[in-house]
Amino acid sequence: MSLFAASNGGATAVKSHGPGRLASLYSELQSSRLDISLPLPSVLKNSFNVVDSPPSSAAGNPEEIAKLFPNLFGQLSAKLVPALPGSVSLAADKSLKIGVVLSGGQAPGGHNVISGIFDYLQERTKESKLYGFKGGPAGIMKCKYVELSTEFIYPYRNQGGFDMICSGRDKIETPEQFNQAQETAIKLDLDGIVVIGGDDSNTNASLLAEYFRAKNIKTRVIGCPKTIDGDLKCKEIPTSFGFDTACKIYAELIGNVMVDAHSTGKYYHFVRLMGRAASHITLECALQTHPNITIIGEEVAAKKQTLKNVTDYITDIICKRSELGYNYGVVLIPEGLIDFIPEVQQLIAELNEILDHGSVDEAGTWKKKLRSQSQELFELFPKAIQGQLLLERDPHGNVQVAKIETEKMLIQMVETELNKRKQVGAYKGHFSGQSHFFGYEGRCGLPTNFDANYCYALGYAAGVLLHSGKTGLISSVGNLGATVEEWTVGGTALTSLMDVERRHGKFKPVIKKAMVELEGAPFKKFASLRDEWALKNRYVSPGPIQFVGPTANDINHTLILELGAQAA
Amino acid sequence: MSLFAASNGGATAVKSHGPGRLASLYSELQSSRLDISLPLPSVLKNSFNVVDSPPSSAAGNPEEIAKLFPNLFGQLSAKLVPALPGSVSLAADKSLKIGVVLSGGQAPGGHNVISGIFDYLQERTKESKLYGFKGGPAGIMKCKYVELSTEFIYPYRNQGGFDMICSGRDKIETPEQFNQAQETAIKLDLDGIVVIGGDDSNTNASLLAEYFRAKNIKTRVIGCPKTIDGDLKCKEIPTSFGFDTACKIYAELIGNVMVDAHSTGKYYHFVRLMGRAASHITLECALQTHPNITIIGEEVAAKKQTLKNVTDYITDIICKRSELGYNYGVVLIPEGLIDFIPEVQQLIAELNEILDHGSVDEAGTWKKKLRSQSQELFELFPKAIQGQLLLERDPHGNVQVAKIETEKMLIQMVETELNKRKQVGAYKGHFSGQSHFFGYEGRCGLPTNFDANYCYALGYAAGVLLHSGKTGLISSVGNLGATVEEWTVGGTALTSLMDVERRHGKFKPVIKKAMVELEGAPFKKFASLRDEWALKNRYVSPGPIQFVGPTANDINHTLILELGAQAA
């Protein structure tokens, strides 16, 4: 038995929230994944040059972004090309000190990004050091880190989870916090930091890069696109890592539930899927499994649908199916659905306000503070949901949408509507709803071959970018529809992804979340098929993720369709 | 596109509850499973003889079983052996008419049992017919069936679900129902019926076999052991099919959630697992994944634990872990837990009684009808659980345990207890519970290689048993720890598995559910390790089921341990 326990380094004694991994305890499958050799894009396997692309702008409001990032705005993006004969490669005898941090929620593949950075430093530089900041950005601010070694990293290779160094949701925001980050950078003599995170974390990475540049600190900052939600993407970043694995795990379960629904013939399964801001996961799972009913938040918002509209849409299909003899089915709902419904947003905003300035009394007199439309909506909700709407808020003072069991709410609302129709003879079937929430099950699975390879390349590329002195870029691996050998590698200026939002009277830079595009290829394909899926049973059961065999290297539908659309 | 729609046969027009499967719509993995060639035990591949074993008795009260089964009691079991030179084999030119029925809940592999029967008839008899009764035993009584053909069966090979002919929970119980079954047997000129089901369904199969024998009807009846719950097993039947696949699906999810818990460091995941009567699934998942806390219903019952005891056990571990700095963990709970707690059983019995004779009033005066201990317990439950306890009953007048969210109940009870301890300074951690129920996700997955092979052999064996004129046996495939080639094949007298229960003043035959044995090897192994799992983090993530590669032919821990214990 070999224990790969964390050797805590750093100025602060680190209280780990668990021991390191015991590879000796691994399941056979976990073990079998440890030693697979990961393919690299061919450009990374040989000598390459890092070439600059033309100056960039911003996703919106370039003049404001230019003000917010005086040093970085207009940054050149970078692209790796095979080395020209006689060209100068990156100095292999250079010694780098790099820090890496995981930021935000778990996504399958994070450990491989770190492995990729580590292997790059081992293979292409000399006596470099890689520090893993523990517990997310707080680890940078508090200088809590562990020095990563071959032995330390080994048991995490191709494994799910973020537990190698763990993650956190703190942000480097205040002048004091930036100063703390600076102290750490100087103390550890860092040449660079790699921030692995979603839209917020990469915005933060960009601000940190700007800060270091402004302060004339040598530490560079490179981002990596992480989120199972799939809402951090653009032309240069075709997908965020983790989306592929998470969707396949959810789709396996949905497929199983579908076969069960079809076999049993008596249940409607309402499945809520993780993904608060955007409905990419729900859309991808629909494309993989062909459910009878799928609600896409972006469409609900675009069509300004009310909760009643959504309920009626579901109820109408259930009634039609019942006439065909089908009193069963599968319904997919995005976690953030109620966020997309204007009237619900309005109600939640009013509730936030009321709860911010006091509490609610049992007698319900507080309800008088609601506008009449909101009051009606509140009364429309089942009791259990009313309770959830009044639960304590998150640190930002918002209703915790993840705690609202939208799937149960919709079951109850549909049931009520069906009973009404039954009374007037418009529905003769029987309805029995089963609720599911698939979330945590998908964030830490063993990464698919795609995510394992993609993450390794992202990490390796981050190493290259830091080695070549770049800052304020996000690691970018493209041409993902081709074999790994043909993937392209580079870095995209983070400022080019940014727009501004007005908050508390100030402009704040933000990387806009990539929402489901109603004119995009994935949604259009879904929209062209959903009526058929609604009434005919076109269920597909993708089955469990395979690591070897004919399906082992499949990639998700969203990516294929988006790449196809780009190529066309 | 080829549509494998059901060609409805039979006297009654059959209203299918869905179209047949479209293999053209299959996922790549589903398709890849269609054409795999299944290995057969070597005894089935060549000529064999069916030899009888000594007369059998009963699992309990043989004199009562003998009275209930005057024709079948003492039945010889059967065993297949390689044909002796010169011995007479089963007539290959015989033409058989066989019916098959799926009874009860779905379990992965059911389609392969049917494929096994079909292939046996095709390969070893001449011009035989196989009828699939639709919708469970009701299909026998109403003579609703479909004649199964090569084309009809093909898209269901090695696929999950029961939708080839669907299942049902009706029972053949009354004299009129037995008479209906007889009419169907005569009408279709059936040589035999294969009943694929759990303990109840196999008891019913035995009664049907006895009935036909008593009535001098030629139709024989053979059972097959099906249930994901794993509670139909004995020496001759090492496991029921579906258990292996279902547990592996649940263990994949539990493993993922564990890695998430360990990475995030802030949640206790309470996972309720299907399995109402016995806790085999929970025990097997614990052996596969090493959770911090596992509740086994049989142990709770044996130790006469109260709900307070269970809550304290969980809370104690949470407190100890908190002192070690771990404010996270994973807790496994069997679906039927509250059935195992005597005081809860008492409360439910009283509630059943009260609700049977009236309803409950809002004011709560009905509570006075409860005994004081039950009243206290009822008040101890969180409000939501109180509501669930008062929900409508199942057709047998019982509380629908599956609807009681035991995992949420325990989270709330643990939270209350932790708050108490916090007030007296005995607990300083933070607790945040996440609840999960894994059930329907596991009943219809693609069967593992083990279940695919096991089911195929069970079906093939059922064909042999009927071909050789046996009745009242359950298809038995043994030596499952060895390669498929070495598996043994035979049939066990159903009466030998039976005991009697006194119901409404009469003896009723029952196949006793195989409960988790506290002296059995699986529980003993678990019990020897659980304290280590509680405080150290020994999490194992089994990952998704693989169909090819190094882990593709693994079998579950329960089976390995039980086989090992038998061999020892």
| pLDDT tens digits, B382-401 | 777 787 788 766 666 667 76
Cross-chain residue pair A27–B536, CB shorter than 8 Å: no
What's residue B312's pLDDT? Answer: 97
Distance (Å, rounded) from C-alpha A99 to C-alpha A195?
9
Do the Cβ atoms of B381 and B373 come closer than 8 Å? no
Q: What is the 8-class DSSP label of residue A446?
A: P
pLDDT band at A397 (very low <50, low <70, confident <90, very high): low
B147 vs B8: CA distance, rounded Å: 8
How far apart, in whole angstroms, are the C-alpha atoms of residue B47 and residue A485?
A: 53
A543 touches chain B (CB under 8 A): yes
According to the model, what pLDDT value does residue A12 have?
38
As a whole number of angstroms, the distance between CA B564 and CA B558 comes to 10
Cβ proximity of A225 and A253 under 8 Å:
no
**Chain B residue numbers touching A400 (CB-CB < 8 A):** none
A8 shares contact with chain B (CB less than 8 Å): no
- Is A274 in contact with B256 (CB distance < 8 Å)? no
Nearest to B260 among A326, A440, A554 (CB): A440
**What average pLDDT is seen over chain A?**
92
The predicted-structure confidence for B357-391, as pLDDT tens digits, reads as follows 777 777 778 888 899 989 988 888 877 778 778 87
Q: How far is CA B335 from CA B302, B388, B395, in A?
A: 17, 14, 19
Residues 349-368 of A with CB under 8 A from B: none
Binding residues of B for diphosphate: 105
Q: How many CA atoms lie within 13 A of B254 on its CB side?
A: 37
- Whether A179 and A212 have beta carbons less than 8 Å apart is answered as no
CB-based contact (8 Å) between B392 and chain A? no
Instruction: Tell me whether strands A488-493 and A473-478 are parallel, antiparallel or unpaired.
Output: antiparallel
Q: For residue B197, what are the β-bridge partners?
A: B225
In terms of Cα–Cα distance, which of A171, A207, A193 is closest to A65?
A207
Report the alpha-carbon distance of residue A501 to residue A204 in Å, rounded. Answer: 14
DSSP assigned state of A241: B
Q: How many CB pairs below 8 A link A and B?
A: 213
Report angle CA B228, B512, B374 to the nearest 5 degrees. Answer: 90
Does pLDDT of A517 surpass 80? Answer: yes
Tokens (6 digits) for B138: 């009701």
Which residues of chain B from 249 to 288 reach within 8 Å of chain A, CB to CB? 249, 252-253, 255-257, 259-260, 262-265, 267, 269, 288
d(CA B59, CA B498): 5
C-alpha separations of B114 from A318, B189, B232, B318 in Å: 32, 19, 19, 48
Q: Is B53 on the interface with A (CB under 8 A)?
A: no
* Phi (first) and psi of residue B567, to 5 degrees: -65, -35
Rounded-to-integer distance, Cα B278 and Cα B300, Å: 12
**H or E element that contains B50:** strand B48-55
Return the axis-axis angle of helices B406-423 and B307-323, rounded to nearest 10°. 60
Interchain proximity A256–B445, CB inside 8 Å: yes
Map B514-546 to HEC letters. CCCCCCCHHHHHHHHHHHHHHHCCCCCCCCCCC
Phi, psi of B429 (to 5 degrees): -85, -175
Contacts with B, A 324-343, CB within 8 Å: 325-328
Min Cα distance A445 → chain B (Å) is 5
CA distance A236 to A218: 26
B540–A contact, CB cutoff 8 A? yes
Spatial neighbors of A67 by CB under 8 A, at least 6 apart, are A507
pLDDT over 50 (residue A50): yes
* Strand runs labelled E in B242-292: 268-273
Residue A99 has pLDDT above 50, yes or no: yes
Would you call B544 and A539 a contact, using CB atoms and an 8 Å cutoff? no
- The pLDDT, as a whole number, for residue B253 is 98
| CA dihedral over B139, B141, B147, B150, signed as positive or negative | positive
Contact indicator for A89, A49 with CB cutoff of 8 Å:
yes
Query: Under an 8 A CB cutoff, do B546 and A544 touch?
Result: yes
- What value does the mean pLDDT take over residues A139-162? 97
The alpha carbon of residue A180 is apart from the nearest alpha carbon of chain B, in Å, by: 24
Contact B228, B242 (CB under 8 A): yes
* CA–CA separation, B442 and A164 (whole Å): 30
Could you read off the pLDDT of A484-513 as tens digits, one per residue?
999 999 999 999 999 999 988 899 999 999
**pLDDT score of B213:** 97
Contact by Cβ (8 Å): A499, A520: no
Would you call A554 an interface residue with chain B, using a CB distance cutoff of 8 Å?
yes
What is the rounded average pLDDT of the residues B535-559? 95
- What is the distance in angstroms between the CA of the first residue and the CA of the last residue of chain A? 54
Report the chain A residue with the minimal C-alpha distance to residue B25: A540
Contact A263 B446 (CB under 8 A): no
8 A C-beta contact, residue A211 and residue A173: no
Please say if the pLDDT value at position A434 is more than 50.
Answer: yes
Question: Would you call B547 an interface residue with chain A, using a CB distance cutoff of 8 Å?
Answer: yes
Chain B residues with CB-CB distance to A533 below 8 A = none
Check if the beta carbon of residue B377 is closer than 8 Å to that of residue B347. yes
Which residue in this structure is represented by tokens 């194992």? B540
Instruction: State whether B441 and A440 contact (CB < 8 Å).
Output: no
Mean pLDDT for the stretch of residues B236-259:
98
Q: How many CA atoms lie within 13 A of A451 on its CB side?
A: 36
B495: tokens are 């009466």
Residue A12, CA atoms < 13 Å, CB-side half-sphere: 14
Looking at residue A87, what is its pLDDT? Answer: 86
Residue pair A541/B28 in contact (Cβ under 8 Å)? The answer is no
* Chain B closest-CA separation from residue A408 CA (Å): 13
In sequence order, the β-bridge partners of residue A9 are A145
Cα-to-chain-centroid distance, residue B415:
33
Are B538 and A22 inside 8 Å of each other by CB? Answer: yes
Q: How confident is the model at residue B339 (pLDDT cuts 50, 70, 90)?
A: confident
Contact A487, A457 (CB under 8 A): yes
The CA-atom distances, in angstroms, between B23 and each of A246, A297, A330, B119, B468 are 26, 32, 20, 20, 35
Residue B358: CB atoms within 10 Å = 9
Q: What is the pLDDT of residue A396?
A: 65
Using only C-alpha atoms, chain A has a radius of gyration, in whole angstroms, of 25
Which residues 496-535 of chain B have a CB within 8 Å of chain A? Answer: none
Quote the CA–CA distance of B35 and B319 in Å, as a whole number.
53
Residue A316 in contact with partner chain B when CB distance is under 8 A: no
Q: Tell me the per-residue pLDDT of B35-45, one tens digit each, with 9 for 90 and over.
A: 999 999 999 99
Q: Find the Cα–Cα–Cα–Cα dihedral B66, B68, B74, B80, rounded to 10°.
A: -160
- Judged by CB atoms closer than 8 Å, whether chains meet at B26 and A263 is answered as no
What local confidence, expressed as pLDDT, does residue A13 receive?
32
Please determine, for residue B19, whether its predicted confidence score (pLDDT) is greater than 70: no
- A51 φ, ψ (degrees, to nearest 5): -110, 150
| Distances, alpha carbon A189 to alpha carbons A4, A135, A207, A530, in Å | 27, 20, 19, 56
A61: left (phi over 0), alpha (psi -120 to 50) or beta: left
What 3-state DSSP class applies to B495?
A: helix
C-alpha distances in angstroms, A200 versus A137, A317, A514, B409, B512? 12, 38, 12, 36, 58
Measured between CB atoms, which of B161, B267, B551 is closest to A32? B551
Minimum distance, in Å, between the CA of residue A30 and any CA atom of chain B? 7
Structure tokens given for A526: 């879904």
Question: What tokens were used for A369?
Answer: 């503070």
Instruction: Check residue B446 and give its pLDDT.
Output: 98
Q: Does B386 touch chain A (CB under 8 A)?
A: no
B69-88 mean pLDDT: 93
Q: Give, in order, the Cα–Cα distances in Å from B406 to each of A9, A411, B299, B413, B441.
A: 43, 20, 17, 10, 18
Confidence of residue A345 (pLDDT cuts 50, 70, 90): confident
Q: Which two tokens stand for residue A513?
A: 């979340």
pLDDT score for B7: 36
Amino acid making up residue B125:
T
Using CB atoms within 10 A of its CB, is residue B354 exposed (0-12), middle (13-18) or buried (19+)?
A: middle
Q: Which residues of A are annotated as a binding site for diphosphate?
A: 105
* Amino acid letter for position A474: I
Mean pLDDT value of segment A143-161: 97
Amino acid letter for position A55: P
| Residues B183-201: tens digit of each pLDDT | 999 999 999 999 999 999 9
Which of A444, A448, A553, A556 is most worth mutating to test chain B (most B CB atoms within 10 A of its CB)?
A444
Contact A161 B328 (CB under 8 A): no
Nearest to A326 among B18, B163, B263 (CB): B18
Judged against a pLDDT cut of 60, whether residue A11 lies above it is answered with: no
Nearest residue of B to residue A547, measured between CA atoms: B546
Instruction: Starting at the earlier edge strand, list the strands of the sheet with B48-55.
Output: B8-10, B144-147, B129-133, B97-102, B192-197, B220-225, B473-478, B488-493, B76-82, B48-55
Q: What are phi and psi of A131, to 5 degrees?
A: -105, 130
pLDDT tens-place string over residues A54-86: 889 999 999 999 999 999 999 999 999 999 888
User: Which residues are CB-contacts of A159 (< 8 A; sequence separation ≥ 6)?
Assistant: A21, A30, A33, A34, A111, A446, A447, B259, B541
